[in-house]
Amino acid sequence: MADAIEINFDGLVGPTHNYAGLSVGNLASQQHRNTVSHPRQAALQGLAKMKFMADLGLKQAVLPPQARPDLATLRRLGFSGNDAQVLEKAHRDAPQILAACFSASAMWAANAATVSPSTDCADGRVHMTAANLVSQFHRSFEAAHTSAVMRAVFADDRFFSHHPLLPASAHLGDEGAANQMRMARSHGNGGIEIFVYGRTAFDARAETPARFPARQTLEASQSVARLHQLDPPRAIFIQQNPAAIDAGAFHNDVVAVANENVLLYHADAFADRERSIAAIRAAFTRACGSEPILIEVPTEEISLGDAVRSYLFNSQLVTMPNQSMALICPIECQEIASTRAWLDELLAKGAHPIRTVHFVDVRQSMNNGGGPACLRLRVVLRPEEMAAIKSNIFLTDALYVELCDWVKRHYRESLSPDDLRDVKLIEESNAALAELQKLLGL
């Protein structure tokens, strides 16, 4: 299946994008708590990134936002009456719960699911497990809807196998592809899947971060690998460095990114660095018959603090149509001296296939701890698998224009914390999503 390609499915930012400081351990989310957000700009920034990727010659698709506020969850928690009354009571008694139910966090599609390409799976189908996201309340109720969207988009069961969400328990906290990296000689070849977990749930003596929660458990990662029918030697489990989580790397994709045979990672990304790297190298070499290219960034060149501030490792590392690689970085990497210098040097020394670096502005998402790579879910598909997708979700020039126009007609320019009690926001969001559904043929 050498002709398989990678498609980036980006989450479209929803009309209620706001800053409520909901994610403990996510420094940007905490820093921007209760500041004014700009939903229209956020959505246009996301769309501009998608268009940029498509213009590079890469296949780009879009996933719809979810309906927010989640009134069903508010009612489940005892807020009653008509919609306006539910908002008013929640705003008065539990403003953080109201904000959680308004969160547009489904935009970070890297947390939507874990996906294994058909070539990795014993039954030759693409396997998908939507993430339960149990570790953060506001993200936990994305899961059921995400699962439904995945089943609707990847509907043909000759090609796609969907697994139910893992049980909604802290023991099985699953954050999707943000904690999984795939490496192979090329996207179409069989490869290895590296699952990076934050803690071991069933071992009370295991090392855990001291300050911040470790969201992904080993037991969740192992379950996904089993469900996806991965060949055991090709599925490896590496613990994320608790110090990285404590420095604000709440997902592995804040400190590491892989593409085909290249792994770019911070020296402090993994617990027991030498053993972890040796395990990755050995598994890759055994499975792929050649050595991987491992680019380690030392702390002396980029501190963990700068890695988290810049989101350098949340860049998208992609294979270009001419087979070279490009790194699509958040614009913050250009503004921080250490990452800027490191990127200049990366391009100067060439023992790796990365030939170009581009910068994209997704600041509205970055303010909530979501960089370029957080916004997308990677799916490697063979031509016949791609042809089985019937909805109008692949980004063309025409769809891009339509989506920008749709955003400009429906999204507010800004949202402040107080706006979350405005019942008109519900009507506006519903109208926007109803129109989008038709536009995307979902």
Q: Which of 138, 251, 266, 410 is catalytic?
A: 251
Which of 61, 201, 254, 426 contacts ligand SUG by CB under 6 A?
254
Closest to ligand SUG by CB, 18 vs 161, is 18
Distance from C-alpha of 419 to C-alpha of 2, rounded to nearest angstrom: 51
Interface with ligand SUG in residues 24-83 (CB under 6 A)? 26, 29
Closest to ligand SUG by CB, 122 vs 144, is 144
The residue written with tokens 């996806």 in the block is: 228
Tell me the per-residue interface mask from 354 to 383 with ligand SUG, x by CB under 6 A, - otherwise: --------------xxx---x---------
What's the closest the beta carbon of residue 70 comes to ligand SUG, in angstroms?
A: 14
Q: Which of 333, 374, 385, 410 is catalytic?
A: 374
What's the closest the beta carbon of residue 8 comes to ligand SUG, in angstroms?
A: 13
Which of 193, 219, 253, 260 contacts ligand SUG by CB under 6 A?
253
Any catalytic annotation for residue 374? yes
Taking contact as CB under 6 A, which single stretch among the options 42-50, 89-97, 246-254, 407-415 is the one that binds ligand SUG? Answer: 246-254
User: How crowded is residue 87: how many other Cβ atoms within 10 Å of its Cβ?
Assistant: 24
What's the closest the beta carbon of residue 251 comes to ligand SUG, in angstroms?
A: 4
Label residues 46-64 b or e (16+ Cβ within 10 Å = b). Answer: bbebbbbbbeeebbbbbbb
Tell me the per-residue interface mask from 200 to 239 with ligand SUG, x by CB under 6 A, - otherwise: ----------------------------------------
What's the closest the beta carbon of residue 33 comes to ligand SUG, in angstroms?
A: 7
What's the closest the beta carbon of residue 66 comes to ligand SUG, in angstroms?
A: 13
Any catalytic annotation for residue 404? no
The SS3 assignment for 375 reads coil
Tell me the per-residue interface mask from 7 to 26 with ligand SUG, x by CB under 6 A, - otherwise: ------------xxxxx--x
Rule CB under 6 A: is residue 287 a binding residue for ligand SUG?
Answer: no
Closest CA to 104 of 168, 29, 19: 19
Interface with ligand SUG in residues 96-135 (CB under 6 A)? 103, 105, 108, 110-111
Tell me the per-residue interface mask from 313 to 352 with ligand SUG, x by CB under 6 A, - otherwise: ----------------------------------------
Closest to ligand SUG by CB, 108 vs 400, is 108
Residues 6+ away with beta carbon under 8 Å from 156: 388
Which amino acid, 309?
Answer: R
Distance from C-alpha of 255 to C-alpha of 264, rounded to nearest angstrom: 9
Closest to ligand SUG by CB, 22 vs 267, is 22
Cα distances (Å, whole numbers) of residue 47 to 51, 302, 406: 6, 30, 11
User: How crowded is residue 76: how many other Cβ atoms within 10 Å of its Cβ?
Assistant: 10
Interface with ligand SUG in residues 412-441 (CB under 6 A)? none
Distance from C-alpha of 29 to C-alpha of 23, rounded to nearest angstrom: 6
Closest CA to 180 of 4, 5, 373, 331: 373
What does the block give as tokens for 361? 């502005």
Closest to ligand SUG by CB, 277 vs 366, is 366
Closest to ligand SUG by CB, 22 vs 333, is 22
# chain residues binding ligand SUG, by CB under 6 A: 23
Distance from C-alpha of 34 to C-alpha of 154, rounded to nearest angstrom: 37
User: What are the φ/ψ torsions at residue 317 (nearest 5 degrees)?
Assistant: -100, 115
Which DSSP string corresponds to 125-186? SEEEEE---TTSHHHHTTHHHHHHHHHHHS--TTTEEEEPPPPSSGGG---GGGGEEEEESS
Closest to ligand SUG by CB, 117 vs 370, is 370
Which of 127, 139, 182, 412 contacts ligand SUG by CB under 6 A?
139
Closest to ligand SUG by CB, 125 vs 251, is 251
Distance from C-alpha of 50 to C-alpha of 13, rounded to nearest angstrom: 12
Distance from C-alpha of 41 to C-alpha of 426, rounded to nearest angstrom: 19
What's the closest the beta carbon of residue 422 comes to ligand SUG, in angstroms?
A: 17
DSSP 291: -
Q: Which of 6, 142, 175, 193 is catalytic?
A: 175
**Dihedral of alpha carbons 406, 410, 412, 418, sign:** negative
What does the block give as tokens for 249? 């790397």
Contact indicator for 128, 114 with CB cutoff of 8 Å: yes
What's the closest the beta carbon of residue 432 comes to ligand SUG, in angstroms?
A: 19
* β partners of residue 380: 6
Closest to ligand SUG by CB, 29 vs 217, is 29
Contact indicator for 107, 370 with CB cutoff of 8 Å: yes
Any catalytic annotation for residue 266? no
Q: Which residues are catalytic?
A: 175, 251, 374
**Chain residues that interact with ligand SUG, rule: CB under 6 A:** 19-23, 26, 29, 103, 105, 108, 110-111, 136, 139, 178, 250-251, 253-254, 368-370, 374
